[in-house]
Chain A
């Protein structure tokens, strides 16, 4: 499986677990916000509520869903770059490091008598500690010889721990009303207002625009940093652009998705998109599309069922896309790849079997021709000697060839059918042509030819065979003799015509 897919799965599992586990670790965010867009009943929504959300009748619902949709799109787009740059987890460290900033911003704002829950102040605090966390990672990585993953793990947990401690302190404070800060941990669209949603939407559109504008340069950076540097691209500054995009997406996404799950929105759509295409621009677009769909559907579910945190819903919807992509992906979907490989293996095995029979016939000078059209059966043991296969595997291949009417099985052994003989001589001819080509044009010692020929001939197309024929003098019309002599029973090879 591809590296990216593994990376996606690795990122996705702990998130799934944490989304289940953490609900008990933290008190559910019961925000008594006036701006809540839904009724707070635990029960199934009434038809009226369904209608309000699905038909986007409510202005606030409309704006909030637009915000989460664009956020998902932006995260998907930015995520495809960070994933390919192999920096996917930097976003995780960043988002966890925002928590102490949120706590500090609240404390400071309350102390000076301001509104502790003013969104710009909280997000400013989040940005500052988020950046400090990333700085700490870079510092640890550059000053010590610790690897990035160790630095990341240490910083992420320490900053998050500090944040949890600060929230504890805030609970004890007499001034200020701290309820609602937890919404930042796992997201709550219910606490979002139209202005917040507009901020998200604006930032998301800006991020997507930057990605599209510098698409070519960012792609080159992600693929080949050294070459990008040699062409004079400012590698460090472009990396900073990617990091800045991650910062912006993460910060504006805190409210809707929450800091624990934000990383999922940066990784899962991009990893899922990779299953569908081998083109970077398509991957970015598909990733943005999946992220947007996840944001819209997840946000919608959360708007209907107010007890379900929007972050978790968005992530679970995206995870569903990921699993579907893994199974059905048209470019690298896992079942599809397995089937393709199995087919190729089967056709290679069949070619080997038919060629082994043909070569056995050759070595006993009994290849059927016009004078003696009899097709001599080959014993099982002789075939077993020719191929380094187990008896079981040989029996299985013979059974398959028989099913396709290429061989008949008698008491004396395996006999080619007319069709089988045709196919066997065609394959042997193709194999020998390729070997001759390798010897004539690529200076390879004849004793090494067979294995290389084996590897390539199975994918020879008719055009290439034709080209080989014209290259290797038109003189060879039948099946040419093996250039390396067959290592077996009879040395003489047959002059086929």
Chain B
């Protein structure tokens, strides 16, 4: 879509740079999600730039996974707007690839690695249509890209943790999308897998893809990412790693004190009880 600059009516999710409209892969505005009336994320707003590798960093229970799920409409949101390439998620679903947490599935399931990767193509294949040879070939290529093509026919519980993570990555790669949402791809993987994933992330960036990656290891943030979102129920800070990833901001994100939000929630609960 072309938006003229002089009209002044620039879409909220499209930024104008040097006279050309640059798409914003993901824009989150005022997002609040609550489970059982307890807010998990509160008034979260940020944009991420096209072609960047974005790390989402924050303590346990900061709502990082919930943020990803809310983006994909997997959990109901209490309020807020999310746009993916300028449109609601369900209209641009085909441009987004999701890599869930490894522990979120039962690896004892009777499928092999190739089957799992092929699942990335199911929505392209369409309802009730069979998986064809070319789909399996595409899945094989994706497995090859993550370096475990020779394990294609191994039942998934026979794979190591790192290999399982690579299988999940391959399932997202096979979809050929523009925005990747990854939930802790580096959690408990071996060193070789970590390097392989970083290589793939960099290759994605070169091809103009964007990735939002939940990350736990603070020491590698500077090395892996060029943009960072510091999250602890609300966004503490977001922006280029060099500016934002400071010890002061980290202190705010991980600081031991109750956050203001928790204090308010606690006060509210006390009042409710006394009524």
Contacts and interface: CB of A to CB of B under 8 A. Distances in A.
Contact of B192 (A84, A278, A282, A442): A442
B123 A233 contact: yes
Contacts of B55: none
Interface string B87-117: 0001001001010100011101111100110
A223 B119 contact: yes
25 contacts: A3-B108, A214-B127, A216-B122, A216-B128, A216-B130, A219-B119, A220-B119, A220-B122, A222-B109, A223-B105, A223-B109, A223-B116, A223-B119, A229-B74, A230-B96, A230-B98, A232-B90, A232-B123, A233-B123, A279-B115, A280-B115, A442-B192, A443-B191, A443-B195, A444-B191
The CB with the most chain B CB atoms within 10 A, among A145, A277, A280, A282, is that of A280
A232 B191 contact: no
Interface string A156-177: 0000000000000000000000
B264 interface: no
Contact of B104 (A84, A226, A274, A279): A226
A279 B131 CA distance: 15
A2 B100 contact: no
Contacts of A282: 110
Contacts of A224: 100, 104-105, 119
Interface in A100-130: none
A277 B195 CA distance: 34
The CB with the most chain A CB atoms within 10 A, among B115, B171, B181, is that of B115
Contacts of A44: none
A314 to B, nearest CB: 25
Contacts of B96: 230
B106 A3 contact: yes
A277 B110 contact: yes
B125 interface: yes
Nearest to A229: B74
A359 B108 CA distance: 39
Nearest to A222: B109
B162 to A, nearest CB: 11
B259 interface: no
Interface in B155-175: 155, 171
**What class of interface size applies to chain A in its complex with B?**
20 to 34
B213 to A, nearest CB: 16
B110 A227 contact: no
Interface of B: 36, 69, 72-74, 90, 93, 96, 98, 100, 104-106, 108-112, 115-116, 119, 122-123, 125, 127-128, 130-131, 155, 171, 181, 190-192, 195
A217 B122 contact: yes
Contacts of B105: 223-224
Contacts of A441: 192
Interface of A: 2-4, 84, 86, 145, 213-214, 216-217, 219-220, 222-224, 226-227, 229-233, 274, 277-280, 282-283, 441-444
A231 B122 contact: yes
A379 B239 CA distance: 65
Contacts of B130: 216
Report whether over half of chain A's contact residues are helix, strand or loop; otherwise say mixed. helix
Nearest to B172: A227
A226 B127 contact: no
A227 B98 CA distance: 7
Contact of A442 (B100, B104, B125, B190): B190
A233 B119 CA distance: 12
Given A279-B112, A280-B110, 8 more contacts: A216-B125, A216-B131, A219-B119, A229-B74, A230-B74, A274-B110, A278-B112, A280-B111
A3 B96 CA distance: 33
Contacts of A279: 110-112, 115
Nearest to B118: A216
The CB with the most chain B CB atoms within 10 A, among A226, A229, A280, A282, is that of A226
A283 B110 contact: yes
A227 B119 contact: yes
A80 to B, nearest CB: 9
Contacts of A277: 110
B128 A214 contact: yes
Nearest to A444: B191
A276 to B, nearest CB: 10
B100 to A, nearest CB: 5
A217 B129 CA distance: 10
B192 A226 contact: no
Nearest to B104: A226
Nearest to A80: B110
A325 B87 CA distance: 52
A59 B77 CA distance: 60
7 residue pairs, one from A and one from B, having the closest CB atoms: A278-B155, A230-B98, A442-B191, A231-B123, A230-B72, A280-B110, A442-B192
Nearest to B129: A216
Contacts of A86: 106
A283 to B, nearest CB: 5
Nearest to B119: A220
Nearest to A5: B108
Contacts of A223: 105-106, 109, 111, 116, 119
Contacts of B74: 226, 229-230
B120 to A, nearest CB: 8
Nearest to A86: B106
B136 to A, nearest CB: 13
Contacts of A230: 72, 74, 93, 96, 98, 100, 181
B160 to A, nearest CB: 9
Nearest to A441: B192
The CB with the most chain B CB atoms within 10 A, among A227, A233, A444, is that of A227
A278 B110 contact: yes
Nearest to A276: B110
Contacts of A229: 72-74
B100 A232 contact: no
Nearest to B190: A442
A220 B105 CA distance: 11
A224 B181 CA distance: 16
